[in-house]
Amino acid sequence: MAVSRKTGGFIGFLLIAIVVGWFSPLWAESYFFVDEFEGPHLNSSIWKSEQVRGRRWCGEEENGFAPGTWVSIASTPCYSTLQPPPYGSIEISEDGVHLNSLNEYVFPYFFTGPSSHLSPFPPTGDFSLEIRLRHDYIGVAGNGVYIRFWDDNKPEGENPPIIPELRVFSIWSDTNSSRIGLLGESTEFSDIPGLFNVYRLEYRKGQYSAFINDILVAGPIKSELRPNTIWVGNPLALWWIYSGEAGWSAFTIDYIRVSKLNRQDEEFSKIY
């Protein structure tokens, strides 16, 4: 029996619709790692928190890059500086997770990656990291988000949280400037307190690029370094800040999302 051109066209369209419907989950957005910070508390299956107490990094010089050691600053002085807890606050609301501190020397922080958790980044292939973040106040003492490779993120011994050679990406604000770090580069940008920005890191074909609100601001930069750790806040004890001077920056994160940019290695997809 002959099939008319009109009928054949309809059947072809129907077959395409069925195929698209069948395979649509392959194109649906899924995340390798995601936290929308819907609360009421940080998800301990995703994050390790030293938030309002715990150890802080005590560096030998007035910056975050110097050698040092982790100390419980409530009982062990960092260059004669003690700080009783709480070390600020981490609160979740409709806007996301909010970090703030009114004391002088320390700020809350939380982190994920080996050895406390699985890496939030895929071990192979291209990926993107997207963070929607708002600085509510910009103070003398800065903070933000730091993405790096870290063999072991335990806050113990001489295991520094900041190593420039192992940093892949960072978002940071203090009264000096608001800036993003991409590998060895630092790029300043205009940050208006109270307004959200969407920060995106992309790794494609061995190159990193950084975007703010879909505008390319750094890169592409070729690198084989792959991150496995995210820490949020500031783990440093700022022992060199004089009394009353600190004035910590405060910020809110709406979400953190990591996506694979290819469809290989599906077994790694959507761990969380």
Over the stretch 4-56, which tens digit does the pLDDT of each residue have? Answer: 544 455 444 444 443 334 333 333 358 999 999 997 899 999 999 876 678 99
Q: Report which DSSP code applies to 268.
A: G
User: Please, what's the largest Cα pairwise distance for the chain?
Assistant: 94
- Residues 130 and 237: beta-carbon distance below 8 Å: no
Over the stretch 98-140, which tens digit does the pLDDT of each residue have? Answer: 999 988 889 999 999 998 899 999 999 999 999 999 999 999 8
* 3 and 99 belong to one structural domain: no
* 126 and 250 belong to one structural domain: yes
What is the token pair recorded at 208? Answer: 């990193």
* 83 and 24 belong to one structural domain: no
- As for how many domains the chain has, the answer is 2
* 128 and 5 belong to one structural domain: no
Bridge partners, 231 (sequence order) = 111, 146
* 42 and 139 belong to one structural domain: yes
Query: Once rounded to an integer, what is the mean pLDDT over residues 169-187?
Result: 93
* 150 and 205 belong to one structural domain: yes
Q: 6 lies in which domain range?
A: 1-30
* 76 and 110 belong to one structural domain: yes
Per-residue pLDDT at 156 exceeds 60:
yes
